[in-house]
Amino acid sequence: MNRRTKIAAVAAAVLLTLGAGGVAVASADDAPAPAAASAVVSKSPVAEAAALTGTAKLYRPAPADDDITFTFDAHLAAKDVKDPKAATGTFRFSHYTQGKGGYALVKVDCLTTGGKVAVVTGRVIETDVPEFKDRRVGVSVHDMGRHDRLGYSWLAVDPEKEDVSPCSSPAPFERVKAGSGDFRVVPWAIPYN
């Protein structure tokens, strides 16, 4: 049997095993479905529409001893591909110098990505910095492998006075400290039909 005949035989087995709606059909006296048909019928994991994950520290030149860390776990499910405000997850940032500083934990409320750039916003749900409590903040990330970049809204918008809009942040103007970690951006592929 040549290659073309083998492919046709597997395709025929798949078509015979699948009903009109793409659902496996079988009667009590049918033999088990061929392996190829089982692979087609089984549910595969649903891919995400977009994501931003990872941890890294921001670069500061010596002799600065600032420890500025950002950690992301933000996701947009495939079913919500057309609604970036349906994003879920959290992100956290902290800034400590000589043991003093603060942190904030943020519940994600919007995520957009394009290529290797992501913008995520959310409401601060936990913090020891009063001006951030319950405020929406935004962060941008450029996933450049070992040379990632990051930007944050509180450079341009005073969190005590106003929130940023969903999915908005300044461009990624900061550098990530070499060897401190790596961000990963899953690009958002918007369906246009």
Tell me: the pLDDT tens digits for 14-49? 222 223 333 333 333 333 333 333 333 334 345 899
Give me the torsion for CA of 190, 106, 91, 74, rounded to 10°. Answer: -30
Q: Look up the pTM and report it.
A: 0.74
The C-alpha atoms of residue 142 and residue 20 are separated, in whole angstroms, by 45
pLDDT band at 80 (very low <50, low <70, confident <90, very high): very high
What number of CA atoms fall less than 13 Å from residue 177's CA on the CB side? 17
The C-alpha atoms of residue 93 and residue 139 are separated, in whole angstroms, by 10
Give the DSSP H/E element, type plus range, for residue 39.
helix 35-41
Check pLDDT > 70 for residue 89: yes
CB distance 57 to 67 below 8 Å: yes
Mean pLDDT, rounded, for 158-179: 92
pLDDT greater at residue 134 or residue 9: 134
Share of the chain above pLDDT 70, in %: 76
Tokens coding 187: 């690009």
